[in-house]
Structure 1
Amino acid sequence: MKKKFILLFLGLSLNSCSQQKDEEVTTTVPPTPTPVLKDIFLADPTIFYNEGTYYLYGTTTGNTPLNGEGFQVYTSTDQKNWKGPVGAQGGLALKKGEAFGSQGFWAPQILKYNNQFYMMYTANENIAVATSSSPLGPFRNTSKEPLAASVKQIDPFVFIDDDGKKYLYHVRLTNGNRIFVAELNDDLLSIKTETLTECIAAELQWENTQNANWPVAEGPTVLKKDGLYYLIYSANDFRNPEYAVGYATSKSPLGPWKKSTANPIISRNLLKINGPGHGDLFLDKDNQWQYVLHTHYSITNEAPRKAAIIEMNFIQKENELQLEAKKDSFRFLKN
């Protein structure tokens, strides 16, 4: 009888241990899967920083959602974790039908002026201006008219100098894509035509690697440092793998401009990625210059183009202050 009791006790103990192990297995919480981040497909990108938030805009590209419907916007507080599109109109900050343009919504720029947010942009190969009370939109152009011009014009960039004068850098389609500048009137809706001046044309070998009859210089963005103006631009057709970025300097916002001997400062040779270019330079919350740009999708496909970012620094070299891209900082933007 004693042996039977011992065996029964052992059986119950083993059964209890087995049940406890089963319970431990079934209650184990599986590890949280790492979220898969996806590339952000935007061309001609720009980043606007306002009150702790970065806003990313650009040209929709390839067969992506909302393509041709306006301008998407993404947001981030650290430039690494992006949310969006989060524009006020179904992801769009500017929506077709509520501002000038029916097609070809390209190359937006955002600025804050007189307590309003302005979007300078291209549509129908013309430059237009829309306004909003929020960087998320909705941006609207009540007149639904572009800036008056005798030729087609694209790629606007507004620079406001220390003296308050405003300048519109842009591309005019005349014997190639050529970069011009003109002083803007205070309403930002028209230029002082007597100040219109050509800045940059694609004339060097790196700027026209295919010897095209229509050479391309485009995507201007401008900054001022130590009394010198830096005009950053892209050259070659954007579909060309050799699309690249260079810069020129001047002592005046109207030029004349001297191209850097260090050009191109961003290229396929530097990044080992096709088609880097057409972006915007901005100062982040840590006072670090950053250049947001696009690249080709892959070695074989140009579209959809991908948004990326790279740090820019000023270095003293060859008796001048040169602008240089920090190769190791390059990364694609993802959400």
Structure 2
Amino acid sequence: MKKQVLILILLAGMNVVRAQTGKDTIRLADPTIFYEDHTYYLYGTGNPEGFEVYTSHDMKHWKRHEQLALSKGNSYGSKGFWAPQVFRYRQKYYMAYTADEHIAIALSNSPLGPFTQRLQQPVSEQGKQIDPFVFKDTDGKLYLYHVRLDRGNRIYVARLKDDLSDIDGQMPTECIHAEPGWENTAGSDWPVSEGPTVTKMGNLYYLFYSANDFRNINYAVGYATSTSPFGPWTRYAGNPIVSRKNTGQNGSGHGDLFSTNGGALYYVFHTHSSDSDVGRRKTAIIGLSVSRQEPAVISVVPGTFRYLEIER
């Protein structure tokens, strides 16, 4: 009897050790990863006071920093801090983000922040806009891809001023709006296309986007191509390229492209909390391959999906 009790105590102790040394899935929606000098910086939606930042040197071991990268009160916005993007420009670091259903761009001397604005104001477009992505073309021109809430979530693009203070005054151009099929499986009267990310390969622009409401299990990612940053855009016939069919997880979407220090291409995104609950969305990555044909075809590398985890 004493031996059995001792065994139970030892097993209980082992379970405590496992609990203490286990890992938790990072829970940031609309995630983005910025890479510089052997460090990956992860940001996303999830904190009502601003944006958290996590760092890693190998994409496996992550550290959460106590100080927010951007805090309410230091830059534009009072609520709804969503969908950040961090990039480097002219030796400074910038964060484009959503707050109060408008877009703002804050500045920092470090990717860790703090990102702040001297003039706490949004980009001066009319109406509601979310999900910014700033793209710098090979000629140095800057473009703001974003979502306007107008008869659905529609992706637009506008030229940015060189100092990033505002758009250049020209009317934004519509890029993508969700169409019947995989982009609107619910047949919604408010179709959703959102979460734009743009890259350029050769002379061709690739616009990655998510479609369906984020609460829909069929939320997924596709891409379109164009010879101009303004379009017109041609959807890839094999869309969606990231979905629950190849991740095994509901609500797979809304993320960003990034490359590893070895040059491998990845997409960071979120999924639902579980099969039955959207909940606090979980942060994941998946590898992408680029074909050698022209135009290049981008597809998921099988077996590369995994969640990002942090030590308890």
The correspondence for 1:41, drawn from 9, 21, 27, is 27
Contact 1:271-1:327 at 8 Å conserved across structures: no
Contact 1:104-1:122 within 8 A present in 2 as well? yes
Q: Does 1:75 align with 2:50?
A: no
Q: Distance in 1 between matches of 2:289 and 2:203?
A: 17
| Largest Rg, 1 or 2 | 1
Asked if the contact 1:147/1:190 (under 8 Å) is kept, the reply is yes
Residue 165 of structure 1 is matched in structure 2 by 141
Higher relative CO (Cα under 8 Å, sequence separation at least 6) belongs to: 2
**SS of aligned partner of 1:269:** helix
- Following superposition, the deviation at residue 151 of structure 1 comes to 1.2
User: SS of the counterpart of 1:83?
Assistant: strand
1:55 equivalent in structure 2: 41
1:327 CA drift (Å): 2.9
Give the residue type in structure 1 aligned to 2:223.
Y
Shift of 1:320: 3.9
- TM-superposed CA distance for 1:193, in Å, is 3.1
**Distance apart, 1:204 and its partner CA:** 3.1
SS class of match (2:303): helix
TM-score by length of 1: 0.85
Alignment match, 2:10 = none
1:188 maps to which of 154, 161, 164: 164
Deviation of 1:190 after TM superposition, in Å, equals: 1.1
Alignment of 1:10-49 (within 5 A): 35-49=21-35
TM-score (norm 2): 0.92
**Corresponding residue number in structure 1 for 2:305:** 330
Q: Please identify, of 268-277 and 122-131, the stretch whose mean Cα deviation from structure 2 is larger.
A: 268-277
Q: In structure 1, how many angstroms separate the alpha carbons of the residues matched to 2:202 and 2:104?
A: 32
SS at match of 2:197: strand
Aligned pair partner of 2:83 in 107, 111, 124 = 107
CA contact (8 A) 1:151 1:172 kept: yes
Read off the aligned partner of 2:216 and give its amino acid letter.
Answer: N
RMSD over aligned CA atoms reads: 1.5
Q: Deviations over 1:255-281 (max 9, x none)?
A: 110000010001111212100000000
Post-superposition, which runs of at least 4 consecutive aligned residues in structure 1 deviate over 6 A? none
Q: How does 1:254-273 map to 2 (within 5 A)?
A: 254-273=230-249
Asked if structure 2 preserves the Cα contact closer than 8 Å seen for 1:170 and 1:181, the reply is yes
Contact 1:106 1:155 in 2 (8 A): yes
> Residues 216-270 of structure 1: CA distance to partner in whole angstroms, max 9, x if unpaired?
0000001111211100000000011100000000011111100000100011112
Preserved CA contact (<8 Å) 1:242 1:274 = yes
Note if contact 2:180-2:187 (Cα within 8 Å) is conserved in structure 1.
Answer: no
1:144 to 120, 125, 139: 120
| SS of corresponding position for 1:192 | coil
Which letter does structure 2 place at the counterpart of 1:324?
A: S
Specify which of 265, 278, 282 is matched with residue 302 of structure 1. Answer: 278
Partner of 1:230: 206
Letter matched to residue 202 of structure 1: A
Kept in 2: contact 1:183–1:195 (CA 8 A): no
What's the CA shift for 1:33?
A: 5.1
Measure the CA separation in 2 of the matches of 1:109 and 1:321.
25
Alignment of structure 1 residues 267-282 onto 2, 5 Å: 267-282=243-258
Letter matched to residue 278 of structure 2: E
Structure 1 CA distance, aligned partners of 2:233 and 2:151? Answer: 19
Gaps of 5+ in 2: 1-13
Q: Which one of 204, 209, 217 corresponds to residue 241 of structure 1?
A: 217
Identity of aligned residues (%): 54
- Stretches of structure 1 that go unaligned for 5 or more consecutive residues are 1-29, 61-66
